[in-house]
Amino acid sequence: MKIGFIGLGRMGRGMALNLCRKGFKLMVYDINPTAMQDLVSAGAQGGKDIADVSRDADVVITMLPNSAIVLDAIAAPHGVLANARAKTIVMDMSTVAPEVSEQLAQAAIDRGMSFVDAPVGRLASHADRGESLFMVGSSPEDFERVKPLLEAMGTTIYHCGAPGTGTRTKLVNNYLAIVSCHLYAAALTLSQKFGLSLERTLDVIHGTTATNGQLKIAWASKVLKGDTEPGFTIDLAHKDLTLIIEAANSVKVPVPAAAAAREAYSIARARGFGTRDFSAMGDVWCELASAGKARLKNTD
């Protein structure tokens, strides 16, 4: 298959590199020319623009920051649908509003193409190692066609149903992940203010139902080691919470925890933390409470 890949940010770069390593023929594009250099070095062809990437591809993958950018890249006159061939699969792996996924699915059908939404779970470090998790919304036939690509980029793949179901599943997952990140920020700040041993506090938490992967895996490898380089940023977490609240409102499901967490992330952004990893919420809350930053003594 000829693959077009649009969007080589922190997640997309690792995903595209794994496709190259597994022998897929790629043409890539990003608005930042330097983002394409690693891919070209790995054997991919650099595209001039979105239209160039789309013309001869069997599958066009997009991995982009938000709904507006995805709509522009896929549905605008210069975008994928206007330039790709009939029977091309457009696979959007971004986290967007569910109605955007459904709108693009219909637009693809109208042009004789098909659409797959396959948002990504886990961290950027997992994407680098080819260990991502994918939540896929597609027809059964399209799922089988894109499955080899997903297997090259990840280890865990769930077919959630028709187009739009992958996106909705991602919002449910991120609701829990992002809200729990906010909760742990407050909890560990309280631990710091109490003067407790962070190591002993974590031993207790991990021995009860209070723990989850957010604290045990993500925080242990990021903020608790003093590393807040972005894998998934506070800005993106805030964006996803907005999507979650709007999608929940559309089906009349109250999500007060998401609303409260979004305001916490708003505070973090106002204090200049927007581009930091979302585990940096731990540092934000310690700063607000004038507490020492929560750091593990042994960070090896």
Residues 6+ apart with CB under 8 A from 115: 89, 90, 91, 92, 101, 104, 105, 107, 108, 109, 138, 142, 163
Would you name the residues annotated as active-site residues? 170
What is the distance between the alpha carbons of residues 295 and 236, in angstroms, rounded to a whole number? 24
What is the distance between the alpha carbons of residues 44 and 30, in angstroms, rounded to a whole number? 13
The size of the chain, in residues, is 300
* Rounded (10°) CA dihedral 162, 164, 165, 170: 150
Helix pair angle (256-270, 234-250), 10° resolution: 150
**How far lies 237's CA from each of 116, 176, 265, 266, 279, in Å?**
23, 11, 8, 10, 10
